[in-house]
């Protein structure tokens, strides 16, 4: 919760969540395609003869037909759009979870667990996180609609 780079990471994530999805997509293309060459720039797949299987999903059809080259290529084409779509909701959910954790870390049951001699990691996972995750799950339900609305802009 209080490691040295936490403030810098929070600032970067907050800036990323505040940026529009199309801008994140363009920046992702510049960084991950043009500069680093990690992901392809466009298209659905780069394999010449992909399988036309029962589902129409290249990842699933590639697995069904045993074409792992198709699966790997389809996943590479999905990585950047998935990251751009997920960053906004992930930051919002993370902020709600952090706020809930900070509230619950000083609660009576956490103090009792410390008095019993439990380690901080065990207190966080067994006691505090278990009681704090409800608000993050509620926020996840709200963010699903935002993710679906962002798909159209990113694609």
Long-range contacts of 137-140 (CB under 8 A, 24+ apart): 139/92, 139/93, 139/96, 139/97, 140/89, 140/93
Structure confidence by residue, pLDDT tens digits, 18-48? 777 778 788 888 888 888 888 887 777 767 7
Residue 1, pLDDT above cutoff 60: no
Backbone dihedral angles phi then psi of residue 152, each to the nearest 5 degrees: -65, -40
**136 or 147, which is more confident?**
136
**56 or 32, which is more confident?**
32
% of the chain with per-residue pLDDT over 70: 94
Name the pLDDT band for 67 (thresholds 50, 70, 90).
confident
Helices (H) and strands (E) in the chain, counts: 7, 0
**138 or 62, which is more confident?**
138
Structure confidence by residue, pLDDT tens digits, 102-138? 888 888 888 888 888 888 888 888 888 888 888 888 8
* Torsion over CA: 47, 48, 49, 54 (sign): positive
* DSSP code at position 53: -
Specify the 3-state DSSP secondary structure of 4.
coil
CA distances to 62, 72, 136 from 129, rounded to whole Å, are 38, 35, 10
Taking the domains of the chain in order of start, what are their residue ranges?
A: 20-154
Looking at residue 151, what is its pLDDT? 72
Average pLDDT (80-106) is 82
Region of residue 91 (left: phi > 0; alpha: psi -120 to 50; beta: else): alpha
Residue the block writes with tokens 């019993």: 116
Residue 3, pLDDT above cutoff 80: no
Looking at residue 88, what is its pLDDT? 78
Given a contact cutoff of 8 angstroms between Cβ atoms, the answer to whether 123 and 110 are in contact is yes
């Amino acid at each position: 919760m209080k490691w040295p780079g936490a403030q810098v990471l929070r600032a970067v994530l907050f800036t990323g969540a505040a940026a529009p999805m199309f801008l994140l997509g363009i920046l992702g293309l510049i960084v991950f395609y043009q500069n680093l060459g990690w992901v392809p720039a466009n298209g659905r797949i780069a394999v010449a003869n992909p399988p036309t299987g029962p589902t129409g999903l290249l990842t699933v059809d590639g697995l069904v037909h045993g074409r792992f080259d198709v699966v790997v290529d389809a996943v590479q084409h999905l990585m950047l759009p998935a990251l751009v779509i997920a960053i906004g909701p992930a930051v919002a959910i993370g902020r709600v979870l952090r706020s809930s954790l900070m509230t619950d870390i000083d609660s009576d049951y956490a103090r009792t667990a410390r008095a019993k001699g439990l380690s901080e990691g065990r207190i966080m996972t067994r006691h505090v996180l278990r009681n704090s995750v409800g608000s993050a799950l509620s926020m996840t339900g709200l963010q699903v609609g935002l993710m679906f609305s962002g798909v159209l802009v990113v694609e």
